[in-house]
Structure 1
Amino acid sequence: MGKQASYTIRGIGSLLWFVFGLSGIINILALTGAFYMMQVYDRALTSGSVPTLLWLSAIAIGLYLFQGLFDIIRSQILVRFAANIDAKIAPLVHKVVIEMPRFGYAPAEAVERGRDVDTVRGFLSGAGPVALFDLPWIPVYLIFVWLLHPVLGMLTLGGAIFLSCLTLAAELLSRRHARDLARTSVHRNVVADNHLRNGDVLYSMGMTERALDRFEQANVRHIDAQTATSDISGTFAGISKVLRMMLQSAILGVGAYLTIKGDMSAGSIIASSIITGKALAPVDQAIAQWKGVMAARRSWSRIKDTLGVLNRPDTRFDLPAPSETLTVENITTVAPTSGTVLLTDVSFQLKAGQALALIGPSGGGKTTLVRSILGIWPALRGAIRVDGADLKQWPTEFFTSNIGYLPQDVSLMDGTIAENISRFDDDANARKIFRAAKTAGIHDLIVRMPSGYQTDIGVAGQVLSAGQRQRVALARALYDDPFLVVLDEPNSNLDAEGEQALGEAILKVRERGGIVILVAHRPSILQYVDMVGVVQGGRLVSFGPKDDVVKTPANVSTPPRYPMPQSMPQPMSIAAE
């Protein structure tokens, strides 16, 4: 992926050089009108020859057609170039965007990185690149006007320099406002995203008006920054337009004076006015498009930074499927957003067929520990090893086929039940889907639905109840018999039947030689595990066989909240124990 990103960026140069050359042809052909007027006034009119006029007109029409054809080709190249950039880069950027929230970035900021691709595509397929590609060819027009008369050339050159200074001034004055615009845009999107995700709470607790006030404040700051940026761009565009018209009139006046003095022909007056307008038009267009230029440049810079993450050397290797151990070696984990230490020097080892329940007070670090084990929050120090190999050494396929995860906040994707269980695998095996659903104890419930496994669950699984969503997510975690199954409060929304199915699923994973780690708040789930770890204050204060840990409250500073039931059902026989 990283190499592909670098190749994509480097491959842009050759096409841009081609478009630059094509722009040169177009700008040279743009001299057609000036040459035509000079020949009509100085040759056809003075000679009174109609055939000469017809031939001049035919040649001019042919050149105009070529100019139009090349202009169309340039436009279509830029549109397709923009689409090609989007097609190649958007998936790479999206790959990084998906991972940004786990490194402390707000979801809205991650989405903004994804929109950078749209900004660049919109700019490349618009009028901005045309103005930029025409700018370097201004000397062609200046030379032409200079050949008509040096005075006109100096006047045109002075106007071009002055307008170029306006462009530079627009860049310098709008740079700070552009940064403010980007910052306020992200903040406004963060506020909107928070309100969207908490709509039910806002309505039910009468917080809607307060939420609107917060959004209004963020929106006003964004509008102010946008207005300041637009004011600068609009002001300089207006000044540029007026100066260009004044300069063209000055060229006509000076040209008329030189013609009266006998230093120029009548046709040269018209030609110089036309070419002066052509020479200054790219500067005028660049100033008008400067807001888009800055937005595209800012977005492209962020895209390169985003793709830079993919250029890191890949140390992963195709290792054999795991089957033996999970080892946590002295890991320390910090919060991505604040850098606060959440876990300190946690170590333990699990063998195939074992199940570990993590217990302890809320906020003690249990969820942080399982997220660290899965690599969602990279450990600051220490290592997570599977069969002795660091987690970073395992290929992507390791995560897709050997890890199952049921997060605390269950989230399903828009699609069918079968698609969600199979993790949207294009080559999903129906038998594996059925086996995962049966292991999670939800097969009978699914087949009773009108569309069965093809039931569309809607956005975030709205069609299903909270308990049904949790059981479908459990089936997703169990799909394809992963070696490591991590369950964060898997029974929080389950009834007695669902909890019984969960327990049986844990036992089946253990039977086939898998490892289960679960965060437990209900003591009833402990009957299905053989190992218990007590996490408190960011440390693993106790770890060992279930009976030893639960019956030894002296290991923790507060009494355990997990009294074992008097009658403990014996787990099924496990060959690996």
Structure 2
Amino acid sequence: MPSSAPRTALSATLRSFRGLFLAVGAFSLAINLLMLTPAVYMLQIYDRVLASRNTTTLLMLTLIMVGLYALEAALEWVRSRALIRASAAMDLRVGPVVFDAAYERTLRGKSGSAQQALGDLTNIRQFVTGKGLFAFFDAPWTPIYLLVIFLLHPWLGWFATGAAVLLLLLAWVNEIATARALAGANREAQGATHYASTHLRNAEVIAAMGMLERLRTRWVQRQSRMLSLQSHASDRAAAVGAATKFVRVVCQSGVLGVGALLVIDGQLSPGGMIAASILLGRALAPVDQAMGSWRSLVQARGAYARLQELMTAHPPQGPRVALPRPTGLVMAEGLVVGPPGSRQPVVRGVSFGASPGMLVAVIGASASGKSSLARALVGVWSPMSGTVRLDGADVAQWDKAELGQWVGYLPQDVELFEGTVAENIARLGPLDSDQIVRAARRAGVHEMVLRLPQGYETPIGEGGAALSGGQRQRIGLARALYGDPALIVLDEPNANLDEAGDAALVAALRELQRAKCTVFVMTHRLNILSIVDAVLVMDNGKISAYGPRDAVLESLRAQPKGAGATGATGGAADQQAPPSLPDSAPSRPAPLTQQECTA
């Protein structure tokens, strides 16, 4: 690992295992010394036992041989166990950090990163516990075998050294020949997998409109590019592998030929000839195994680099000062918001405020910026510029877990998690029955839940597949209301609701008003406007009107037909300062003006 590598949880964890890796290296040294046992045993059999015909010597040598083999097996077991424990400890330490970093990247619009990052961590763990790493631990001890072969005879030593160098050269050729193709194949494989996983989520749409063949054709094109690159790399690897096998068997047999010449010349005993063959096999085995594991090494190295980049880009947040429960005072100042990864803003320079307990309806045409504003208010999207403040603190300054307990959010596309209804309402936290039922009653979903097969214990299934769209939306609303949040943002909460669901939503909003909870409702339906305190009109990413309900609606009615928030792109849309609350409505919480926000 280069010293200039950024310090992350992964690199720090691997550094903390230095002592363990040194111990594994020491075990590898002992194991490789013990692997001399068959050569020494064979040498003693040929040169001592057969010459003396002494069965006692044979018995003693055999007992020693069995004992050394048993010790070698024990050391192998301890070495494997140590690396297995190390890989598990690494996963437990690094896994949560990788999960959080992958979540942050996914939040910024790169949906394939989470699956890739967790797969990379698994790749490294499997490499640490696999045979490939053992080969790299054993490879440095190849000189020991070569030294012993030199002690038998220099000719044999030089022959064995030449064989090892030739295999290393072939390993280098294999890396050069396959690296680029394998990297391209891995990229194409990830792209094909991501394409399939993202598009097959819409299986119902695919089935209804007969799109399967076209989607399959596109996937096959990606898969074909991957297979082409992989086949290209595999062809080269197979050629190098065949050459490697040829060199190995020739050298393995050739050392016997060289040894036979030395035996004929009287410079070596027959036992030394057999021992040299065994030792050469042991000397070349780690090199051969390392070549076989080269691909897994390359993959682990790539996984390590990607995880380093991910965790460097999204380092874990340190502890922050816990802020008190907010009252619900919301202020947006010069807010510019756009999708993650995009430079094109959707919300452009808006400023407004809402006092605690205010119920604000955000209306406007499609693509006017309502949903983008909703995401910015709860901190899902980071502003390009400007701030959103909750009780004076920038939403970005809040600890996410701390802020989450005071915020309720119902997105336009409601996603439920695998688990029970109760677990989803409780936000996958500890199950507080009173709070769960209270949130369900607030959302008007309690009776509906009781009618489910197992009530609150009904398994929802992945994505809430077992429920209708309206049921998912109402359970999502209960989840947003869980825990008495101070700020609630509802994006099209009645999009999938029937008349009963609409009535339950209105009742829930009235109760939130009484509880002094600040609520923003992004909506196309105007029936909610009868109970709101203020209306904020979005038009082309800007605020065209903001103020008390009656005043805003009156101004909208007074506009010429086709103008305003639902049709105009200029005029009112270019206004910067929303109107103040007039004195005629003292009973409603006052929306803060732009001047008050920026004061």
Q: How many correspondences in the alignment?
A: 566
| 1:468, distance to aligned residue in structure 2 (A) | 1.2
Change over 3 Å in CA distance of 1:82–1:232 after alignment to 2: farther
Correspondence for 2:541 among 538, 541, 547: 538
Structure 1 range deviating more: 305-314 or 186-195: 305-314
> What does 1:263-412 align with in structure 2 at a 5 Å threshold?
263-311=267-315, 314=318, 316-412=320-416
Q: Distance in 2 between matches of 1:555 and 1:330?
A: 29
Change (3 A) 1:3 1:388: farther
* CA distance in 1 between partners of 2:543 and 2:320 (Å): 29
Mapped to 2, the partners of 1:307 and 1:230 lie a distance apart of 32
Q: 2:577 aligns to what? A: none
How far is the alpha carbon of 1:269 from its aligned partner? 0.6
Q: Which residue of 2 aligns with 1:565?
A: none
Residue type of the alignment partner of 2:212: T
State yes or no: 1:84 paired with 2:89.
Answer: yes
- 1:70 aligned onto 2:55: no
Residue type of the alignment partner of 1:461: G
CA contact (8 A) 1:6 1:311 kept: no
Give the unaligned 5+ runs of structure 1: 563-570
The yes-or-no answer on 1:60 pairing with 2:103 is no
1:518 — aligned with what? Answer: 521
What residue identity is the alignment partner of 1:52?
A: T
* Other-structure match for 1:568: none
Mapped partners of 2:368, 2:405: distance in 1: 30
Mean CA deviation greater in 90-99 or 190-199: 90-99
Q: How many angstroms does 1:92 deviate by? A: 2.6
Q: Is 1:41 equivalent to 2:56 in the alignment? A: no
- Is residue 401–residue 482 contact of structure 1 (8 Å, CA) maintained in 2? yes
Q: Out of 5, 12, 15, which is 1:10 matched to?
A: 15
Give the Å deviation of 1:339. Answer: 2.7
Q: 161-170 or 230-239: which moved more? A: 230-239
Distance 1:451 1:573, change over 3 A: farther
- 1:213 deviates by 0.8
Residue-by-residue CA offset, 1:290-320 (whole Å, 9 max, x unaligned) = 1111112211222222333453553732111
Which of 118, 137, 161 is the aligned partner of 2:122?
A: 118
- Give the whole-Å Cα distance in 1 for the aligned partners of 2:92 and 2:121: 10
* Alignment-derived partner of residue 206 in structure 2: 202
- 1:11 and 1:172 mapped to 2: Cα distance? 33
RMSD: 2.4
- 8 Å CA contact 1:353–1:576 kept in 2: the answer is no
AA partner of residue 408 (structure 1) = Q
CA distance, structure 2, for counterparts of residue 253 and residue 87 of structure 1: 53
Question: Hey, what does 1:100 align to over in structure 2?
Answer: 105
Amino acid at match of 2:179: R
Tell me the CA shift for residue 458 of structure 1: 2.0
Distance in 2 of aligned mates of 1:387 and 1:152: 82
- Residue 225 of structure 1: how far off its partner (Å): 2.4
Where does the alignment leave 5 or more consecutive residues of structure 2 unmatched? 1-6, 568-584, 592-599
Q: Sort the Cα spacing of 1:477 and 1:188 in 2 relative to 1 into closer, same or farther, 3 A.
A: same
* Corresponding letter in the other structure for 1:468: Q
How far off is 1:176 after superposition? Answer: 1.2
Partners of 1:120 and 1:300 within 8 A in 2: yes
Question: Structure 1 residues 92 and 462 mapped into 2: Cα distance closer, same or farther (>3 Å)?
Answer: same
2:188 is the alignment partner of 1:184: yes
Counterpart position of 2:491? 488
Aligned mates of 1:417, 1:120 — CA distance in 2: 37
Shift of residue 467 of structure 1?
0.9
Structure 1 residues 23-34: aligned runs within 5 Å: 23-34=28-39
2:293 & 2:58 partners in 1: Cα distance? 39
Range that drifts further, 533-542 or 47-56: 533-542
Question: After superposition, what is the alpha-carbon deviation per residue over 1:510-549, rounded to whole angstroms, capped at 9, x for unaligned?
Answer: 2222211121111111222222222222223332222233
Q: Matched residues in 2 for 1:101 and 1:88: separation?
A: 21
Partner secondary structure for residue 405 of structure 2: helix
Q: Which amino acid aligns with 1:326?
A: V
What displacement does 1:501 show? Answer: 1.4
Residue 425 in structure 1 maps to residue 429 in structure 2: yes
Counterpart amino acid of 1:542? Answer: A
Answer yes or no: is the 8 Å Cα contact 2:365–2:539 preserved in 1.
yes
The match for 1:567 is: none
CA deviation profile, 1:299-355 (whole Å, cap 9, x unmatched): 122222233345355373211111141111212223324332222212211110112
Q: More deviation in 368-377 or 553-562? A: 553-562
1:246 is the counterpart of 2:246 = no
Matches of 2:159 and 2:560 in 1, distance apart?
A: 89
Change (3 A) 1:321 1:576: farther
Aligned counterparts of 1:555 and 1:4: Cα–Cα separation in 2: 61
Change (3 A) 1:519 1:131: same
Q: Are positions 1:167 and 2:174 aligned together?
A: no
User: Any idea what SS the aligned residue of 1:328 has?
Assistant: strand
8 Å CA contact 1:484, 1:514 repeated in 2: yes
In structure 2, what is the equivalent of residue 566 of structure 1? none
Number of the residue aligned with 2:221: 217
In the other structure, the counterpart of 1:447 is 450
Secondary structure of 1:341's aligned partner? coil
Q: Which moved more, 1:525-534 or 1:207-216?
A: 525-534
What is the percent sequence identity of the aligned residues? 38
Question: How far is the alpha carbon of 1:89 from its aligned partner?
Answer: 2.6
Does the aligned pair in 2 maintain the 1:178–1:294 contact within 8 Å? Answer: no
* Matched residue type, 2:235: D
Match of 1:437 in 2: 440
TM-score normalised to the size of structure 2?
0.89
Q: For the structure 1 residues 575 and 486, does the alpha-carbon distance in structure 2 shift closer, same or farther, using more than 3 Å as the test?
A: closer
Task: Give the Cα separation in 2 of the matches to 1:272 and 1:252.
Answer: 8
Matched residue of 1:330: which SS? strand
* SS in structure 2 at match of 1:529: coil
**C-alpha deviation, 1:450, in angstroms:** 3.4
Higher mean C-alpha displacement, 79-88 vs 142-151: 79-88
Q: What is the CA distance between 1:429 and its match in structure 2?
A: 1.3
**By how many angstroms is 1:484 displaced?**
0.8
Three-state SS of the structure 1 residue aligned to 2:346 is: strand
Matched residue type, 2:98: V
| CA–CA distance in structure 1, aligned partners of residues 233 and 129 of structure 2 | 22
Q: 2-side partners of 1:555 and 1:138: how far apart?
A: 89
User: What displacement does 1:436 show?
Assistant: 0.5
Aligned partner letter, 2:29: G
**C-alpha contact (below 8 Å) 1:541/1:556 kept by paired residues:** no
Match in the other structure for 2:477: 474
Which range moved further: 400-409 or 359-368? 359-368
Distance 2:163 2:551 in 1: 88
| Cα distance between partner residues in 1 of 2:480 and 2:373 | 18
Q: Work out whether 1:229 is the aligned partner of 2:233.
A: yes
Of 448-457 and 145-154, more deviation after overlay is shown by: 448-457
TM superposition shift of 1:7: 4.3
Any idea what SS the aligned residue of 2:545 has? strand
Q: Is the 8 A contact 2:120 2:303 kept in 1?
A: yes
Contact 1:35 1:271 in 2 (8 A): yes
